[in-house]
Amino acid sequence: MNNELFFIKRVDNLGRIVIPKSIRSDLMIKDEDFLKISKSNNAILIEKHEQLLNTRKLYTLYMKILELNTDLECVLTNREQCLYSTVLVCNNIPYLDNSYKELLNDLKKIVNNGALKITDELSVNAHYGIFPIFISGSLVGSIIIYSENQLTTKHEQITELITALFDE
């Protein structure tokens, strides 16, 4: 059975087309997401571009630096999935819990103490900090740090420096 869908769309005078909602939903394309557009022979290819997924070696290094310098548990997410965790193997890239996505969409740093559900497999009840990651002004993910002990100013400063490294 063929899973391919096709639509015929008119290009407007600015060269724009509308991607049908069913396709955007299936591929989890949201406002402010980046798309990779390329040409192959006579075809235009459009793919969802996950900036953090495309830099796995680099973000793993950043997270190791954070972990070694803070002795905290660390999690890295994009806007949809957990990409790295010190306690959870993210081979299957688990999807973020909807309540966490709502926190992330507030676009601000959050430092708190209590329960936080990150994915179905990862919930914490601790002191935690959520640090949004922006690339070129757009939210692309977050770093979460947590511990049974109170987070210090140094923990927050190191995490903020690491999030800044992601920006181009």
Report d(CA 124, CA 147) in Å as an integer.
Answer: 9
As a whole number, mean pLDDT of residues 49-53 equals 62
Does 33 share its domain with 71?
no
Does 33 share its domain with 93?
no
Range of the domain at 21: 1-49
Does 85 share its domain with 143?
yes
pLDDT tens, position by position, 65-122: 888 888 899 999 988 888 888 887 655 668 888 889 888 888 889 999 999 999 888 8
- Whether the predicted pLDDT of 1 surpasses 50: no
Does 44 share its domain with 57?
no
- Residue 131, sorted as left (phi over 0), alpha (psi -120 to 50) or beta, turns out to be beta
pLDDT tens, position by position, 7-42: 888 888 988 888 888 888 777 777 777 787 888 888
CATH number of the domain that residue 115 is part of: 3.30.450.40
Does 33 share its domain with 62?
no
State the total domains in the chain.
2
Q: Which run of H or of E encompasses 26?
A: helix 21-26
Residue with tokens 């997924």: 53
Residue with tokens 């993210």: 90
